[in-house]
Amino acid sequence: MHRFVPATLLLFLHLEHPVSRVFPEDSVGLVQPELAHFKEPLALACGRQLDEYELVYETYGTLNDSRSNAILICHALSGHHHAAGYHSESDRKPGWWEACIGPGKPIDTNRFFVVSLNNLGGCNGSTGPASLNPATGRLYGADFPMVTVQDWVHSQARLADRLGIEQWAAVVGGSLGGMQAMQWSIEYPERLRHCVAIAAAPRLSAQNIAFNEVARQAIISDPDFHDGHFLAHNNIPKRGLKLARMVGHITYLSDDAMGQKFGRERKSEQLNFDLSSVEFQVESYLRYQGEEFSTRFDANTYLLMTKALDYFDPAAAHGGDLAKTFAAASASFYLISFTTDWRFSPERSQEVVNALIAADKQVSYVDIDAPHGHDAFLIPHPRYLQAFSSYMNRIEI
Amino acid sequence: MHRFVPATLLLFLHLEHPVSRVFPEDSVGLVQPELAHFKEPLALACGRQLDEYELVYETYGTLNDSRSNAILICHALSGHHHAAGYHSESDRKPGWWEACIGPGKPIDTNRFFVVSLNNLGGCNGSTGPASLNPATGRLYGADFPMVTVQDWVHSQARLADRLGIEQWAAVVGGSLGGMQAMQWSIEYPERLRHCVAIAAAPRLSAQNIAFNEVARQAIISDPDFHDGHFLAHNNIPKRGLKLARMVGHITYLSDDAMGQKFGRERKSEQLNFDLSSVEFQVESYLRYQGEEFSTRFDANTYLLMTKALDYFDPAAAHGGDLAKTFAAASASFYLISFTTDWRFSPERSQEVVNALIAADKQVSYVDIDAPHGHDAFLIPHPRYLQAFSSYMNRIEI
C-alpha cells in the first residue's frame, strides 16, 4: 500500500526544507548495489576460464544470526541485480521484481535476507562482454567466453561463500532464473532447502531454440555488430537488438493478452496504406519496446543469455532422464506455471514435477490461471501472489 | 502413385533416344504459364490505381462446354501461379499444391478446370514491385501501390472475364488464399457456388500483426533495402528477408512438429560453445530456409503481402459483425482447420463458421487432427486429403 500524503502538505514540506521521498510501505525503499571482486579463476563449461571477475549484487532485509533466512534471486534473460526498491529518491521505476519482493510480499523482507545479483556475462555491472579484459586491457566484446547456467550457479556459490551463507533458505527464479534454481538443487544439494522455479522448463524445445536463433541472427547480421567488437568501433547493433527484442517480446505475451491490450486498435481512424506509417497500436508498442531495449542492453550479453538458455539441459548428462538428474537433490521443490504461457507452457513445468515425483522428491506445483503469458511471473496477479506467498511463508528459518 | 520404371531400363532408353520423362500418374504433368495483359485501369483500396498490369496464370484440366467446372486457386503469402505439375522435363519440384491438385486428387483435374494465378504485387510474373512502371520507365520498387485482398479479388474477377468464366464452381485457398476465397463470397456472391477456406482467419490477431511487423522491420531496417529501391541500387536486402522468413517459418510449424522433426538434435556430438557454429539442427534448418527464400523472393512483395494480411478485415465495414458481412453471400462454404495450427488456430475458422451459421448460410467444417501446424494445408495428410476430396467430389458441375 502507498502511504498517502495530501499534495498540499507535500508542497508545504518542500518549501520548508528538502524532504525524504516517501516510498510505498511494502517496498524495500532505497537500495544500493554492492560489488564483489573474485580473484580465484572460474573454470567454465566451455573449457575456458575467467581469471578474475566481479559480481554486482543487492541485498534486502537482514541476515539472521543463524544465517538461515537467505534467499537467492536468479534473474532471467534481460534481468539484473536490481530486483526490488529504488536506487535514488528521484528513481521512478523500482526493481524488476518489486511485485514479489518486499515487506509482506511473497519474498517477505521482514523474514528473509534477499540476495540478488547480475550474472556473469551480464551488462549491468557484473563482468561481461562490455567489461575490460584484464589480460588485454581492451574490452572483451566477442572475446567474452560463453557462460552456462552451470557456470552461473558456480559463481553464485562463490558469492554465497563471500556473504557467509552456507545454505540458502531458498533459491528462487522465473524463466531462465528458474533454470538456475533447478541447477542449484542438482549441483549443490546441501546448499538450499527450497527450490522455487517459476515459468521455467527443463530444457528448451526446438521452437524455443528457433526463436533464440532468429534473435541472434538479427544481431549478428547487423552490419554494426562488427563481429561482436562494436564497442571498440564506437557503435552498437541497434537494429539487430531491436528486432531481437521485438520477436522475444511477442513470445513473452499471450495471444489473448495482446488481443486484450491492443486487438486491432488503430493509431488513427483512417488507414494510411503505406509502409512508413504505423497502422495498428501493437506495431507502435513493439517498436517502442525494441527501441527502448536496444539503447540499454548489450548485444553480446543478449547473445550469451540466449545461448545459455539453449545449452541448458541438465538431463543430457543422464541420458535424458530427468528423474535421474534430480536423484541427489534434497531440496523441497515448488513449481509455478501460468495457463497462457506458451514460451514455457504449463506442460514444461509438469515434466519437472513428474520427474521429481518419480525421483521421490518433495514437490508442490500450482498452475495459475493468468492471462499474461510468460510475463505473468513479473506481474502482481492476486492468485499468483497468494500461491507464491503461501509457500514462502511456510519456509522455516 | 509413381509409375515405377527400373533404373536399367531408363538407362537403356536414354542411350537409344531422348525419352519423355514419365511424370507421376496423379500429376497434371507438364504445364506452361500464360500471361494476361489488362489495359483497363484498376482502382485500388489505397486510393491509387494501376493503369495497366499483367497477371501470370496456369490452368490444369479442361473447361467444360457449360463452363461450370472452373476452380480458382488463391495463393498464400509466398505462393504463386505454379500450383501443380512441372515446368520442364528436368523440373524436379512440382507446383506448391501438387498434394491437392491433379487427377484423382481433392481438386480433381479429371473433373475440374483449375485456374491458378500470381497475385498483383507478386514477384513471380504478375505486375509487382520488381516490374517496370510504364509511367516512369523505371522499376516500381517502393512506388508499387499497396494492394489488398479486395484488390486481388477484383483483378481475379477480370481474369475470370478474360477466360469466359462467369461463375466459379469453387474459389479455393489456404491461409491468405482462404481470405481471398471468403472475400469472393462477399464481393461477387453470384460468381461462385462454393467457397473453400483452409487454415484461414476472418482477420489477423494482434499477435499475427506483431509477427508481420517484426518481419517488415527486419527488411526495412536492412541497410541494403534502400527505402525499397534496392533493385535500382543493384542490391537486395538479403539479411532482412532471411530474418523475415525465419520468423515466419517458425509460425508455420507447430511446436510439436518442430520437436518431432528436430528436438534438440545436434549438428555434432560435441558442443562448440561459440556463436559461429551451429549447435542444433533446428538452427541449421531455419538458416537454410531463410537463406534460400532470400535469394528467390522480392522483399517489397513480402512487405506488401504482410500488409495485405494485416488489412484484411471484411467485418470492419459492418461494425465488426461477421454474420452481417456474409449476409449477401450465396455460396456454400467449406472450412478446414488443423488442430496444431497456432498461426490461424481452429478457433479462428470457428469464428467464421459461427458467423455463417448466424447468417443462415450453408456451411461445412472439419478440424483435422494433424501435427504439422499451419503448413498442414500444403501437406498430403490422409485425413485432410480425404475430407477435402469428399467435399470437392460432391460439387456439381
Write out pLDDT tens, residues B133-164: 999 999 999 999 999 999 999 999 999 999 99
- What is the distance in angstroms between the Cα of B303 and the nearest Cα belonging to chain A? 8
Which pLDDT belongs to residue A19? 53
The whole-angstrom separation of Cα A237 and Cα A141 is: 12
**Pairwise CB contact (< 8 Å): A246 & B217:** yes
Q: Are B219 and B303 in contact (CB under 8 A)?
A: yes
DSSP A283-350: HHHHHHHHHHHHHHS-HHHHHHHHHHHHH--GGGGGTT-HHHHTTT--SEEEEEEETT-SSS-HHHHH
Catalytic residue among B175, B254, B345, B349: B175
- Torsion-angle region of A323 (φ positive above 0: left; ψ -120 to 50: alpha; else: beta): alpha
Which pLDDT belongs to residue A21? 80
**Pairwise CB contact (< 8 Å): B259 & A205:** yes
Nearest by CB to A262, which of B206, B223, B279? B206
Query: Phi/psi of residue B352, each to 5°?
Result: -70, -45
Q: Show residues of chain B in contact with A202, CB under 8 Å.
A: none
* β-bridge partners, A101: A107
Q: Which of A82-96, A198-212, B263-277 has the lowest mean pLDDT?
A: B263-277
- As a whole number, the mean pLDDT across chain B is 94
List Cα–Cα distances, B199 to A42, B89, B202, B321, B336, in angstroms.
52, 33, 11, 21, 6
Model confidence pLDDT, tens digit, residues A15-68: 444 557 889 999 999 999 999 999 999 999 999 999 999 999 999 999 999 999
List Cα–Cα distances, B141 to A119, A258, A275, B302, in angstroms.
47, 33, 13, 12
Q: Average pLDDT for residues A307-320, to the nearest whole number?
A: 97
With bands split at pLDDT 50, 70 and 90, how would you rate the model's confidence at B2? Answer: very low
Does the pLDDT value for residue A3 go beyond 60? Answer: no
Q: Show residues of chain A in contact with B311, CB under 8 Å.
A: 271, 273, 279
Does the pLDDT value for residue B216 go beyond 50? Answer: yes
Nearest by CB to B259, which of A206, A213, A250? A206
- As a whole number, the mean pLDDT across chain A is 94
The whole-angstrom separation of Cα B353 and Cα A194 is: 50
Q: Average pLDDT for residues A221-232, to the nearest whole number?
A: 96
The whole-angstrom separation of Cα B383 and Cα B235 is: 45
Q: Average pLDDT for residues A178-192, to the nearest whole number?
A: 98
**Cell (9 digits) for A7:** 499534495
Does the pLDDT value for residue B285 go beyond 90? Answer: yes
CB pairs A-B closer than 8 Å? 144
**Pairwise CB contact (< 8 Å): A253 & B311:** no
**Pairwise CB contact (< 8 Å): B263 & A206:** yes
Which pLDDT belongs to residue A269? 87
Nearest by CB to A255, which of B205, B280, B303? B205
**Pairwise CB contact (< 8 Å): B275 & A303:** yes
Model confidence pLDDT, tens digit, residues A88-123: 999 999 999 999 999 999 999 999 999 999 999 999
Which pLDDT belongs to residue A195? 98
In sequence order, which ranges of chain A are alpha helices (DSSP H)? Answer: 7-16, 149-162, 176-187, 206-220, 238-252, 255-261, 281-296, 299-311, 322-325, 346-358, 382-393
- A175 an active-site residue? yes
* β-bridge partners, B196: B172, B334
The residue written with cell numbers 551480464 in the block is A122
Which pLDDT belongs to residue A335? 98
With bands split at pLDDT 50, 70 and 90, how would you rate the model's confidence at B276? Answer: confident
Give Cβ neighbours of residue A30 (< 8 Å, ≥ 6 apart). A23, A85, A86, A87, A88, A89
Nearest by CB to A207, which of B214, B228, B258? B258
- A14 an active-site residue? no
Which pLDDT belongs to residue B19? 54
DSSP A9-43: HHHHHHHHS-------TTS--B---EEEEE-S-EE
In sequence order, which ranges of chain B are alpha helices (DSSP H)? Answer: 7-16, 149-162, 176-187, 206-220, 238-252, 255-261, 281-296, 299-311, 322-325, 346-358, 382-393
> One-letter amino acid identity for B254?
S
Which pLDDT belongs to residue A131? 97
Q: Are B232 and B226 in contact (CB under 8 A)?
A: yes
Does the pLDDT value for residue B73 go beyond 90? Answer: yes
Catalytic residue among A222, A341, A367, A375: A341
Model confidence pLDDT, tens digit, residues B92-142: 999 999 999 999 999 999 999 999 999 999 999 999 999 999 999 999 999
Which pLDDT belongs to residue A374? 98
**Pairwise CB contact (< 8 Å): A211 & B250:** yes
- In this structure, the number of other CB atoms found within 10 A of the CB of residue B50 comes to 22
- A372 an active-site residue? no
